[in-house]
Structure 1
Amino acid sequence: MSNATQSQANMTTGPGLLERVMLSTLTTVPCYIFFHINVTMLFTLRSKLVFRETSRYVLLYNLLFADTVLMALSQILFIVSASRTYLTYPVCGLLVSIGNLTNEISPLTLVVMSLERYVAVCYPLRHATIITIRNTGVAIIVVWAFCSLNVLTRVLLLLQFPFEQLESLQMKDFCFILVMFLGPLSDDYDKAYTCFVFISASVAIISSYIGVIVAARSASTDKVSARKARNTLLLHLVQLGLSLSSTMHNSLLIAISKTVTSTVLEHILSVFYVFIIMLPRCLSSLIYGIRDQTIRPILLCYLCCGLKLSVVSVKAEVSP
């Protein structure tokens, strides 16, 4: 807790107003682009019946929805911190809880998507009966319920802190996930849960990958389908690694804060924020939008139409 507070206090005396505005602009522009791509992808996945009635697209929508909500929430917290605005503990706790919920949806959804690909390759004749829209919906509900239970546990641990001893519920630090670890038990629980989720998810995805490789050697397996599934599972493993890197962001920031000045720290924080927090949340849209032959033409159509409308509106504003 003391290290987290110290790192946040260092940023309080960081760059001046002009430099903070420039940093905020440089981070907001790429984040806006990532957010626009994700929202367009979500709209694409709801625009056609084939996407709404295919399990892997429904799972992809769930993954993108959680990532997009986390992206928007992270940007709000970043702007609040850059503007040197201090929130109250209840408001910060609510925002951090929503962020934790959506952040933990991603690895579990990747596990379900990997299992779906495993069934598609290893049990192609039973795929239609096992991977149904109903079963997919049940799996998504289980994922959200499990993550919600984890968030509820974090809140209960947080309530053990003696808030009545505080002079005020107004925070003296920026709203930051580590600031909400008000006791050692919360920190220990977070580390244990993170290790459990990512080890379990890694084992599930790697096992699915091995199963697909073994099935690909069978003469009865569609080689093209197996190769695509293998590549998809590798991408899921990369996405899981990127999600893990985002959870390590806080600890890495604290370690760096002990060796650099506050100005350098804020520059590093901005770079980490864009490439470790925001960019991984947009990779799913880019990966599936480019690789999937069904999604790609529709997604490009919506993106190009949006770009044309933006250009037309700008010209209309400029013209007398």
Structure 2
Amino acid sequence: MANNSSLVGGESLLRQINYQVIIVQILVISFLCVNLLLVVTFFRKECFYTTARYILFAVTLMSDSLILLVSDILLILSYFRFTMQLGMCTVLCFTVYLYFIVTPLTLTAMTLERYVAICMPLRHAELCSTRSTMHCILIIHGLSSVPSIVVLSILFASVSLSSYKQLTVCSIEVLLVHKWQDYLRSALNQFYFLMMCIIIVFSYVKIMKVAKAASGEDKKSTWKGLKTVILHGFQLLLSLIQLWSPFIESTILRIDVVLFVQIRYFNYLMFSLAPRCLNPLIYGLRDEKFFLELKRCLFWPV
């Protein structure tokens, strides 16, 4: 009788996981389609790809799309227990980890762009030129690669070359050969996100001061910029919570496997997918100029 109950419970859990995987696929495909539409819209008008905030917006779209695509592939491979060589797994995990940092750093740069536009309008054209924005994107990718390089350097120093041909179910945990690596990775992430949060708060306070002193159209524009900063802050908060998810999940795994599956599913939806669906909302739909071009792209694609 106990065996039958266990079997029924196992089948119920498997069916639930199947439903969850299907829901994730629907969400990921939907977000990728929306992001693709927004990227196409971005390249339709010259004013978009020559303006700092739209260029940075396009970077977040492409970064989010890449993360969604690669992480979803890893999710499916892991779910069906497909294996791959450690070398290939290393490349995929490096890509996910790199762009996991790129998105919030780009959001921080977008916040600084709004700060310069509102608090230093006379210097905005100089500081936020297309050339400066491209340099900023290179800096963002350079800074984002540091945690990944640290993790990979320790891996390269700890395992032999023959190990990269071994087959494994790919996940970031495979690359953490020492227990302290996870703490080091977490410390680096926390440092990055602390710096980003400080910049967000600094920009918010400065824009708030300008908003209180502004009047008429300037006041309306300033408050809109302030709302954008708040939304960026909310996105960073969700991303910050995501860093704590592995600690929560590992604790729950020791207590209840079924609860662990539920919590991990919730964390993926809430703290991985949700921040990336907010981005099109903030800039793709709230920005009047971009929204008008988006409607033209939808109804008059030629």
Kept in 1: contact 2:86–2:163 (CA 8 A): no
Asked whether the 8 Å contact 1:157–1:185 carries over to 2, the reply is: no
Using the TM superposition, give the Cα deviation of residue 21 of structure 1 relative to its aligned residue in structure 2, in angstroms.
Answer: 3.9
Per-residue CA deviations over 1:49-105 (Å, capped at 9, x if unaligned) read 111111100011111111110011111011111112122322221111100000000
- Give how far 1:272 is off: 2.8
Matches within 5 A, 1:1-320: 20-163=17-160, 169-171=166-168, 174-219=169-214, 222-261=218-257, 263-302=258-297
Whole-Å separation in 2 of the counterparts to 1:251 and 1:305: 49
Alpha-carbon contact 1:212-1:226 (below 8 Å) kept: yes
User: How far apart, CA to CA, are the structure 2 residues paired with 1:292 and 1:211?
Assistant: 22
Q: CA deviation at 1:185?
A: 4.0
Amino acid paired to 2:130: I
Give the paired residue count: 291
Q: Match for 1:26: what amino acid?
A: I
Residues 1:82 and 1:49: Cα distance change in structure 2 (over 3 Å) = same
Q: Do 2:86 and 2:166's aligned partners in 1 also have CA atoms closer than 8 Å?
A: yes
Distance 1:86 1:130 in 2: 48
Deviation at 1:283, TM superposition (A): 1.2
- Asked if the contact 2:155–2:175 (Cα under 8 Å) also holds between the matched residues in 1, the reply is yes
Name the Cα RMSD after superposition.
Answer: 2.5
Unaligned runs of 5+ in 1: 1-12, 307-320
**Letter in structure 1 aligned against 2:239:** S
Give distance in 2, aligned partners of 1:207 and 1:51: 27
SS of equivalent residue, structure 1 residue 126: helix
CA contact (8 A) 1:30 1:274 kept: no
Contact 1:27 1:270 in 2 (8 A): no
1:82–1:300 distance in 2 versus 1, CA, 3 Å: farther
Secondary structure of the equivalent of 1:62?
Answer: helix
Distance 1:89 1:286 in 2: 37
The two structures have a TM-score, normalised by structure 1, of 0.83
TM-score normalised by structure 2 residue count: 0.87
1:52 counterpart SS class: coil
Name the CA distance, whole Å, in 2 between partners of 1:98 and 1:283: 22
SS in 2 for 1:53: coil
- Structure 2: gaps of 5 or more residues: 1-9
* Further displaced range: 70-79 or 141-150: 141-150
Bigger relative CO (Cα 8 Å, ≥ 6 apart): 1
* Amino acid paired to 1:120: A
Q: State the 1:147 CA deviation.
A: 1.5
